[in-house]
Amino acid sequence: MRIGEAAAATGTTPRALRFYEQRGLLPPPVRTASGQREYGPAEIERVRVIRELLGLGLTVEDLRSCADRLYLLSENPGRRCGSVEAGAPASGVVGRRLAALDAEIGRLTGIRENLARRASGND
């Protein structure tokens, strides 16, 4: 299928597909004789995995670091990205992203608590 059809099938835009390709998340697609991109079922599934992982809070840079293994999630959608035990040190892409999210939650919680104290006049 062509880029517009692939974008529609994955809930994204042609621009996003070109961006994923430029960033190395998608391998360069097969081209027609006229130079148009052609996407097959494997590429469509990979874009779905990319979009799901981005929706879960991973960044494009996170995905770039493991782009050579994204096909594993495409081939086996039930596959786990990794395990993170409570209290265990963060490792791997998912562990590092979880640690970053935890740090941001802590920072925002502190800001919220300070603002709430100020608003209540208990500072």
SS3 labels along 87-107: CCCCCHHHHHHHHHHHHHHHH
Contacts of 40-44 spanning 24+ positions with Cβ under 8 A: 40/1, 42/71, 42/74, 43/6, 44/1, 44/6, 44/9, 44/10
pLDDT greater than 70 at residue 104? yes
Cβ atoms within 10 Å, residue 100: 14
| Percentage with pLDDT > 70 across the chain | 86
Lowest mean pLDDT, pick from 30-34, 86-90, 112-116? 86-90
pTM of the model: 0.74
Q: Using one digit for the tens of pLDDT, what is the confidence trace for 34-93?
A: 999 999 999 999 999 999 999 999 999 999 988 888 888 877 666 555 544 545 555 688
